[in-house]
Amino acid sequence: MSKKEGSGFLDGLFFGSLVGGVVGILFAPHAGEETREYVKNRIDEFSDNSDQVVQELKDGSQKAINQTKEAVESGIDKLTYAISEAKKAAQQKHEELEKEQNIEEEGA
């Protein structure tokens, strides 16, 4: 999940809760005490949900970080191996060329 997607979700969650709360207050057929209790409960519910969403975002971010680290480490290992093999091949070619040069010098 990208930062932008997570932010959009939180914005939607906040806006939806805000609209729901306002509509609930405006159309509540309850007394002031009951309405205040209702509003308090909705705020608590929103707070609990937002804590859960934040934790899920943290967990998802940590998972993405770990996967990225593993991919980078794997890439480094593969690159190191490829460089090692290239060095071996270059050394072998260098030795072959030296042998050819020595044979040509001996024949001349």
pLDDT digits (tens, 9 = 90+) for 57-93: 888 889 999 999 999 999 999 999 999 999 999 999 9
Locate the domains of the chain by residue range: 3-107
Give 79's Cβ-side CA count (13 Å radius): 6
Separation in Å, CA 97 to CA 20, 88, 90, 103:
80, 14, 10, 10
Average pLDDT value for residue range 42-68: 84
Separation in Å, CA 59 to CA 20, 29, 62:
28, 41, 5
Q: Which residues lie closer than 8 Å to 46 by C-beta, 6 or more apart?
A: 13, 14, 17, 21
Instruction: Tell me the C-alpha distance between 46 and 56, whole Å.
Output: 15
The tokens describing 31, both together, are 């007394």
Contact by Cβ (8 Å): 62, 52: no
Q: What is the mean pLDDT of the chain?
A: 82
Average pLDDT value for residue range 47-52: 78
